[in-house]
Amino acid sequence: MILERERPAAGPETRRTSLGHRDDIQGLRAVAVLLVALGHAGIRAAFIDTIGWFCFENQCPMVVGHAITYRDNYHISTTYALELRQLFRDAFTQALAA
């Protein structure tokens, strides 16, 4: 099982990420507890943190390079998804190998 961190929603709030926000930290703790519980149950699990693919230094830009990151408030654009495909493939492969 591979868990992926939820990306921040698009919109005015996208300009600043919730990294370090209490809810974000609690969510990451919940993921850690889940990973430990799955491990104790004999289920291999890994976590892919994708926040760095969308945010940097507490800023989550709507455009990265020449790609618009979101097509609506909740879905990334096809262009940005295509730019991330190798990065995701590498992270997924690494998570499977862990």
Counted domains in the chain: 1
Position 84 confidence tier, pLDDT thresholds 50, 70, 90: very high
Q: Regarding predicted confidence, which is higher, 82 or 96? A: 82
pLDDT at 56: 79
CB atoms within 10 A of CB 50: 16
Specify the pTM: 0.62
**Rounded distance between C-alpha atoms, residue 61 and residue 12, angstroms:** 10
pLDDT at 67: 92
The domain of 60 spans: 2-97
For the chain, the average pLDDT equals 75
* pLDDT (mean) for 34-58: 79
